[in-house]
Amino acid sequence: MTKLPYDDLFIREAIDTGLSRVRFTQRNKNEVWMRIEGGKPVKKKLSLALVLAIALALVAVTALAVTVWKNYYDTVAQKEYTDGYFIDWSAEDKVAFIDLLIENGTVFDAGKVTKLHDAGVSEVEKSRIAEELVTEKFGEPRQGKLEIRDMISAEIGELFEFWPLELKAKLSELQSSYDPYYQRWYGKSLVPGEGDLSESDATAIARGALKDTYGLSDADIDALKLSVAFYDYADTEDDPLIRAWLFEFYTKPPEPGVAGEAYFVWLSADGEVTGTDDNVTDEAEIVPEEMVGIAERFLAWQYISQVGREKAIKMDVRPDIVVPDINLFTVEGFALFAREWAQPMKAAGRGFLGITEIPYALPDADSILQEEALAIANAAMMGQLGGSGEILAYYGNPSISYRVYDVEHPVWRVGYFFNIKSEERLRLHDLARKGDIPWGGSVYIDAKTGEIQSVRQYDEFFANNWFGEYEPGEFDHLLPEPEAFG
């Protein structure tokens, strides 16, 4: 079985990719594992114009590295790993990034910049202005979340799918310098070296695969826009790295908000065709709201609760999908799930790691208050961690739910997990991997008496995470307690 990465950003991107599908096809899985895309069209005969274009692109890459690469791309790469994409940053960090751009020669509207440093302007307004200025410089983000790839694309005037291999490799090297598992889980983009198949030879094989699989002619293929990636990756932490090629022949290139249509060809490093696929011949499907699957609606509810409807729609949640107005990740939200969603999900065959069996409920008048339960749990977890309130703070805002496993003894459950906004996140993950601190934990409290029933710590990453878009039961063996959600 493929072991999943522990990086929070990867999990979020996997959910982004999977929301509209719920169960991954092989192509969907490949799209997740093989994140690094791009390349330059390579035909059998390169025209003088194309030779010059490639040369200019490489010059641009070199100039980019000299002038601004270390100045702010390095900052963005680190922030993406520690705090998420630009839209997720704090107002203070967004303002600091605008200042960094100004230091490196970007000219913004002076009035807007002045407001960023006006103590009378709210943090919310400063955040909005900073986002507006960044959009003015780099354009609309591809999927509602400005990434470092969008920024470089704006600089060189080409979408990241179509960057030269040298530039993709440079960015990949930068990202992997901050994410220790980047290469294994996302695939690290490379430039072919000694002993590797050349890009031109690999392209010829990929073109042949298109002819054999889809019956395309050379003229048909020449009319497509080509994206090439060469990378290495591993299916699990213990597996050796595998070098591979990915070719995407676009009939409709990507644009903001649109993934594009393409034929896909995967090659091993030595040129063996390992897979072909396409999203060109698929017929578009329009699904009425009443026919939307319960699993898709639940995932949308989860994601909207996490990031808000506006952002969720930008990141591919259907704008017309109907979910409850209440936040799922609250005592009230969990109770609503158990009351109205659990049984329909079970009937649809979607157990989602057993969460449909969790007896969420609303606290009754005889139960201790939520705030009191949280205080008891915090004290218990500090004791578990050796009495350190400082370490406890790294676990962010705990997740709280009320559960009735036993009518006579309902419980409050408080779950702890790393705060992904923490500046200490990289260090914390290193400490957790070494076993110096737990990945998280949970406290169960008798809701009537306030007595602690159990205090658990999670020493394995998978024990403290929930992967909703995968098949029910697929990761049950990784969970020490079936009730780990919420």
Which carries the bigger pLDDT value, residue 485 or residue 314?
A: 314
- Give residue 317's pLDDT: 78
pLDDT digits (tens, 9 = 90+) for 362-378: 999 999 999 999 999 99
| Mean pLDDT confidence for 333-357 | 82
pLDDT digits (tens, 9 = 90+) for 222-264: 999 999 999 887 765 667 888 899 999 999 887 765 668 899 9
The pair phi, psi for residue 324, each rounded to 5°, is -60, 150
- Give residue 47's pLDDT: 44
Average pLDDT, the chain: 75
Residue 305 lies in a domain: yes
When divided into structural domains, the chain yields a total of: 1
Residue 81 lies in a domain: no
How far apart are the C-alpha atoms of 246 and 273, rounded to whole Å? 10
- Give residue 388's pLDDT: 67
- Give residue 451's pLDDT: 95
pLDDT at 56 over 60: no
Least confident stretch, 21-30, 130-139, 443-452: 21-30
- Give residue 71's pLDDT: 67
pLDDT digits (tens, 9 = 90+) for 382-405: 888 776 677 787 777 788 999 998
Residue 165 is encoded by which pair of tokens?
């291999």
Residue 189 is encoded by which pair of tokens?
């983009």
94-106: string of b/e by CB count within 10 Å (b at 16+)? bbebbeebeeeee
Edge-to-edge order in the sheet of strand 188-189: 188-189, 225-233, 242-252, 261-268, 273-278
Residue 403 lies in a domain: yes
pLDDT digits (tens, 9 = 90+) for 63-108: 433 334 456 788 888 888 777 778 778 888 889 889 888 888 889 9
pLDDT at 284 over 60: no
Report the alpha-carbon angle 350-352-357, nearest 5.
90
User: pLDDT-based confidence at 296, cuts 50/70/90?
Assistant: confident
Identify the DSSP state of 340.
I
- Give residue 351's pLDDT: 61
Widest pairwise Cα distance in the chain: 82
Residue 139 is encoded by which pair of tokens?
């354009």
- Give residue 133's pLDDT: 94
The pair phi, psi for residue 179, each rounded to 5°, is -110, 105
| Mean pLDDT confidence for 275-295 | 67
Residue 348 lies in a domain: yes
DSSP string spanning 255-324?
Answer: BTTB--EEEEEEEETTS-EEEEEESSSSPP----GGGS-HHHHHHHHHHHHHH-HHHHHHTT--TT----
Residue 328 lies in a domain: yes
Neighbours of 298 (CB within 10 A): 24
pLDDT digits (tens, 9 = 90+) for 196-218: 899 999 999 999 999 999 999 99
Residue 253 lies in a domain: no
> Domain range for residue 294?
290-478
How far apart are the C-alpha atoms of 281 and 275, rounded to whole Å? 16
Radius of gyration, CA atoms only, the chain: 25
pLDDT at 57 over 50: no
Q: Which amino acid is at 255?
A: E
20: alpha, beta or left? (left if phi > 0; alpha if psi -120 to 50): alpha
Which carries the bigger pLDDT value, residue 472 or residue 359?
A: 359
pLDDT at 463 over 50: no
